[in-house]
Amino acid sequence: MRIGIVCYPTFGGSGVLATELGKALADEGHQVHFITYQQPVRLNVFNTNIFYHEVRVPTYPLFDYPPYEIALASTMVDVIMNYDLDLLHVHYAIPHASAAYMAKQIVKSKNGRNIPVITTLHGTDITLVGKDKTYEPVVTFSINESDAITAVSENLKQVTYKSFPITKEIEVIPNFVDVSRFNKKPFDAFKKVIAHEGEKILVHASNFRKIKRVDDVIKIFAAVRKQMPAKLLMVGDGPERPATEELARELNVIDDIRFVGKQEQMEEILAVSDLFLLPSEYESFGLAALEAMAARVVVISTNAGGLPEIIIHGETGFMANVGDVDAMSEFAISILKNESHLEQMKQAAFERACTFDIQYIIPQYEKLYSRFCRMEIIK
Ligand code: GMT
């Protein structure tokens, strides 16, 4: 098939997922066309089946706000017509679903073709931004106008039905991980640089937004640090970063923390880590947690959103209520003190991640696409 994928090209989970999906589809022999304003960060391979179309937004002195959505819809029309796409798969509703609706109508008026649009909901497009009155009518309309809607967890599906008057069926296709990429042996020299005394390594990765409760990460680490030597790697960047560093200084743990910024080689970092901390207010799924589990890292998180759909409490990781720093600290300390239990849980986390391996999820998307196949479609 010839598939157009529209996503955010950044480190965010929806962009990562969409890029990995496109790469896997290209490996399966499909022709994949990424349509974004920048080369997606995980689009780091050469494959003759992958095409990249940059959305350029010309500026003009009149435009205080350059009209990205119009530029995106026009690029979609151009790619659909010139590469004879079979369908468009847009990730993150805003503004991708409404731009796709506009592109669909334009193509219909030009050549009568009805290009199928599949919208995958990822999380904040529904739970935070989409609900805002400024966007809600357009979000509801464009989701309802999609030919198929998927959500990355059962929780997100339910939240979407509760938050918007959606009249169509939402299908759940969970996020996935390429286990073979994350199941890596630790690079000893790298581990020694971070923890020269063989200290345990904790890690957190996010966009450092309020919803991630990064201050709770620091508080949990400070509690652990009182009990044993340990190091914390903070991966990513975002608005809460300065306040987080300040708290680390206040709690006197800054010397044991490294803020390593945005990282493409997450598998190298996870390979040397013992615990992954994700005390988020909400996660529709928690792709970062799944990637950690695939790297045999035990996750300590909240029980918010879709996290209980991937973590089995007490078996593959630990969960507590949002804000319950004491419980999450106790879980961390007790598992780090018990080496054999830690090893057992690392293995259980890995086995759980294997059930979300890419090989099981790609066929679910292909099956969905095949419902919209034209007779002459090539693979
Ligand atoms: O976590 C973020 O804030 C980024 C956001 C995104 O769309 O890039 O992530 C959302 O989509 C991911 C991929 O489906 C999910 O794994 C994340 O849980 C979800 N984030 C939230 O729901 C807060």
With a 6 Å cutoff on the Cβ, whether 283 touches ligand 1 is: yes
DSSP three-state, residue 202: strand
With a 6 Å cutoff on the Cβ, whether 302 touches ligand 1 is: no
Q: What are residue 158's phi and psi, to 5 degrees?
A: -65, -45
Q: What is the pLDDT of residue 374?
A: 64
> Which DSSP string do the residues of 7-69 spell out, in sequence order?
---SSSHHHHHHHHHHHHHHHTT-EEEEEESS--TT--S--TTEEEEE------TT-SS--HH
Domains 2-176+358-370 and 179-354 share a fold: yes
- For ligand 1, the distance from its centroid to the CA atom of residue 287, given in whole angstroms, is 7
Q: Give nearest CA residue, ligand 1 atom 7.
A: 14
pLDDT in tens, the chain (379 residues): 999 999 999 878 999 999 999 999 999 999 999 999 999 988 988 899 999 999 999 988 899 999 999 999 999 999 999 999 999 999 999 999 999 999 999 999 999 999 999 999 999 888 877 678 889 999 999 999 999 999 999 999 999 999 999 999 999 999 999 999 999 887 778 888 889 999 999 999 999 999 999 999 999 999 999 999 999 999 999 999 999 999 999 999 999 999 999 998 899 999 999 999 999 999 999 999 999 999 999 999 999 999 999 999 999 999 999 999 999 999 999 999 999 999 999 999 999 999 999 999 999 999 999 999 764 444 4
Report if pTM > 0.85: yes
The rounded distance, in Å, linking the Cα atoms of 14 and 255 is: 33
- Asked if residues 271 and 187 have their Cβ atoms less than 8 Å apart, the reply is yes
The rounded distance, in Å, linking the Cα atoms of 315 and 348 is: 7
The rounded distance, in Å, linking the Cα atoms of 73 and 103 is: 5
- Asked if residues 3 and 32 have their Cβ atoms less than 8 Å apart, the reply is yes
- For ligand 1, the distance from its centroid to the CA atom of residue 152, given in whole angstroms, is 9
Q: Classify the C-alpha dihedral 233-238-244-249 as positive or negative.
A: positive
Which atom of ligand 1 has the smallest separation from the CA of 125? 7
- Asked if residues 126 and 163 have their Cβ atoms less than 8 Å apart, the reply is yes
Which atom of ligand 1 has the smallest separation from the CA of 306? 18
With a 6 Å cutoff on the Cβ, whether 152 touches ligand 1 is: yes
The rounded distance, in Å, linking the Cα atoms of 41 and 261 is: 14
Amino acid identity of residue 340, one-letter, is S
DSSP three-state, residue 113: coil
- For ligand 1, the distance from its centroid to the CA atom of residue 365, given in whole angstroms, is 19
With a 6 Å cutoff on the Cβ, whether 11 touches ligand 1 is: no
State pLDDT tens for residues 209-239.
999 999 999 999 999 999 999 999 999 999 9
| Superfamily name with CATH number, domain 2-176+358-370 | Glycogen Phosphorylase B; (3.40.50.2000)
- For ligand 1, the distance from its centroid to the CA atom of residue 107, given in whole angstroms, is 31
With a 6 Å cutoff on the Cβ, whether 150 touches ligand 1 is: no
Neighbours of 75 (CB within 10 A): 22
Tokens representing 228 are 């044993």
- For ligand 1, the distance from its centroid to the CA atom of residue 284, given in whole angstroms, is 6
The residue with tokens 């919803």 is 211
Which atom of ligand 1 has the smallest separation from the CA of 211? 23
Nearest alpha-carbon partner for 371 in 70, 149, 181: 149
CATH of domain 179-354: 3.40.50.2000
Q: What residue ranges do the domains of the chain occupy?
A: 2-176+358-370, 179-354
State pLDDT tens for residues 83-128.
999 999 999 999 999 999 999 999 999 999 999 999 999 998 888 7
Top mutation candidate among 176, 283, 291, 311 for ligand 1, by most atoms within 8 Å of CB = 283
Q: Give nearest CA residue, ligand 1 atom 23.
A: 283
Neighbours of 247 (CB within 10 A): 19
The residue with tokens 């986390």 is 349
Cβ neighbors of 212 (< 8 A, separation 6 or more) are: 206, 238, 240, 278, 279, 280, 281
With a 6 Å cutoff on the Cβ, whether 236 touches ligand 1 is: no
Top mutation candidate among 280, 284, 290, 361 for ligand 1, by most atoms within 8 Å of CB = 284
With a 6 Å cutoff on the Cβ, whether 282 touches ligand 1 is: yes
- For ligand 1, the distance from its centroid to the CA atom of residue 286, given in whole angstroms, is 7
In total, the chain counts a number of residues equal to 379
